[in-house]
Amino acid sequence: MNDRIGIVVIGRNEGERLVRCLRSVTGHGPVVYVDSGSSDGSIARARGLGAEVVELDLSKSFTAARARNAGFARLRELEPEVEFVQFVDGDCEVREGWLEAAELELRAKPELAAVCGRLRERSRSASVYNRLCDLEWHRPSGDAPHCGGIAMIRCSLFQQAGGFDERLIAGEEPDLCIRLKSLGGSIWRLPQDMACHDAGMTRLAQWWRRTRRSGWAFAAGARLHGSLSGGPNVRSVLRALAWGAALPLLGTLTLLASLIQPWFLGIVAAIVVLYLIMGARAAASRRRLGDDWADSMLYAVFCVMGKPAEAAGVFEYWLQHLLRRDAKLIEYK
């Protein structure tokens, strides 16, 4: 067992997926499983597989950020000398060889704060939404703006950055990466497979909620780290509001106006052309990554379709913030 790597697994009611996950990391270092109120026997299964179990207090709101921080704290109590922590969600199975490759990269490059790899969807062909997940996780290797929740992070920098922001119900990973980079660390994406994910999305409503959650995360990131001068979160929010709210509203109003003045149809046509251009650019970006035409076109269509959902998430975040309401999890499973 490698006593320099620790693994933190988080989950709730993952069933057999959790068993696969824990088996994929057993023997590679101390494993801490953090449970967020499961009722399917996950706790007993995790203990049976040798994991240290942390049960979160049910009286407080669950977030992935809170669970990961609790797991990391317990890991450091058990193994104070652990240098690197691999965070894994309970619906993922770590690929053979990943932990060794990630550790090697972090040791070879002291400037790196975190390392991630390619996340694959287990049942890519089961639904169009699973296929979209698999496409979404295909990103260029090398220096990365941020990693997801499945990554290996240098413990010293993670502690120095203050861990994940437990107030965030989504977007906690990019938020952490911004703080890691402010400490001088870099995020690196390796080309090899890191883990196999099981999204289990079969309905349009699930995809919509997941996309709405992304909009919420953009808005949270823009408020915490953005500025009027720009930044990735600010640009994402502006794109969501423009493509998902302003243009649809303008198109609806001009379409109604065309019933009185037909020339308004020209504006409607121009808006349609803008969306076609947007879709074409999204498809072209996927082609540059090496995706085939079918996948590129699918991604482009849902990229356009997803903007209203992202805009809804942005509005939801700001409404909660202005009314000082606690955010509730936006779950798609």
pLDDT one-digit tens code per residue, 290-310: 999 999 999 999 999 999 999
What average pLDDT is seen over the chain?
Answer: 93
Q: How confident is the model at residue 1 (pLDDT cuts 50, 70, 90)?
A: low
Tokens of 290: 């090496």
In contact, 174 and 217? CB cutoff 8 Å? yes
Please report where in the chains the tokens 């808006």 appear, as a residue: 271
Average pLDDT over residues 201-210: 95
Q: 3-state DSSP call for residue 11?
A: strand
331: pLDDT strictly greater than 90: no
User: What is the rounded distance in angstroms from the CA atom of residue 53 to the CA atom of residue 31?
Assistant: 9
Tokens of 219: 């808005």
User: What is the rounded distance in angstroms from the CA atom of residue 154 to the CA atom of residue 176?
Assistant: 12
196: pLDDT strictly greater than 80: yes
In contact, 188 and 143? CB cutoff 8 Å? yes
What pTM, to 2 d.p., does this model score?
0.91
**Which among 239, 247, 299, 242 is positioned nearest to 272, based on CA atoms?**
247
Please report where in the chains the tokens 């088996």 appear, as a residue: 23
* Distance between start and end Cα atoms, the chain: 34
Eight-class DSSP state of 230: B
Q: State the pLDDT at residue 227.
A: 59
In contact, 48 and 24? CB cutoff 8 Å? no
Q: 3-state DSSP call for residue 30?
A: coil
Region 5-201: CATH code: 3.90.550.10
Eight-class DSSP state of 121: E
230: pLDDT strictly greater than 90: no
Q: How confident is the model at residue 228 (pLDDT cuts 50, 70, 90)?
A: very low
CA 250 → CA 264, 310, 333, distances in Å?
11, 18, 34
Structural domain spans, the chain: 5-201, 218-322
Q: State the pLDDT at residue 212.
A: 97
Angle (deg, nearest 10), helices 307-322 and 232-241: 110
